[in-house]
Amino acid sequence: MSGLIACHECDLMQRVGTLPEGSTATCVRCGAILHKRKPNSIERTLAFALSGLILFGVTNAFPFLSLKIGAQVQETKLITGILELHKSGMSEIAFLVFFTTILVPFLQLTGILYVVLSVRFGRLYPKFRRVFRYINLLQPWGMMEVFMLGILVSIVKLAKMAKIIPGISIFAFFALIVVIAAAISSLDMHLVWEKCDQYRKKHR
């Protein structure tokens, strides 16, 4: 099993065979890394994706922050800020926040899980290739880190007016950022396409 890969540095087209786990293919012209086989890619990605879905549920189900002013305590969830933006007439911004911090992470995790399970069990589920491409297309739209940075800035400003009580959701949200990044990083794209080609040739 082999495929053509264009070097990202010098654009030389080269044929790279199936690599053992942990090995690296380099360009014959400039020495740049063409492909590195990640060890236990499918198993690690599956574990990260499942962990991410659990964290996603915790993030959206439990309080994000609580504001205590005197004897009054007001709890907020992740969706609360989005709803407030919508009520304030900023529906476009509310949709953008919802899309980048809730919808995209959920689609990324479910898409990765769909692809990894397909490869793990040696089957091509319906729309496999399309889902795999969508994972890459959605990646630039995941802006959970920017949202977390905004939350931290807000906490610093609100700390002078009220007591801030972090909820379990904010810690799950932070962990979710790390887990999604780990899932994307551990997924070996070349291995997925190789398994896809192997299945296609086997069932011709």
- Residue pLDDT tens, the chain, 204 long: 456 778 878 888 888 767 776 677 888 888 888 777 777 888 999 999 999 999 999 999 998 887 777 777 778 888 888 898 888 888 998 899 899 999 999 999 999 999 999 888 877 778 888 888 888 888 888 888 887 887 777 777 777 777 788 889 989 999 999 999 999 988 888 778 777 777 766 766
> Do 194 and 3 meet the contact criterion of CB atoms below 8 Å apart?
yes
Helix (H, G, I), strand (E, B) or coil at 79: helix
Q: Are 48 and 39 in contact (CB under 8 A)?
A: no
Counting the structural domains of the chain, the total is 2
Residues 54 and 121 in one domain: yes
**The residue type at 125:** Y
Residue-number span of the structural domain to which 11 is assigned: 1-37
Are both 72 and 172 inside the same structural domain? yes
Structure tokens at 67: 């504001």
**pTM of this structure:** 0.78
Q: Do residues 168 and 133 share a domain?
A: yes
CATH number where 94 lies: 1.20.140
Cβ distance 35 to 54 under 8 Å? Answer: no
- The span from the CA of 117 to the CA of 191, in Å, is 13
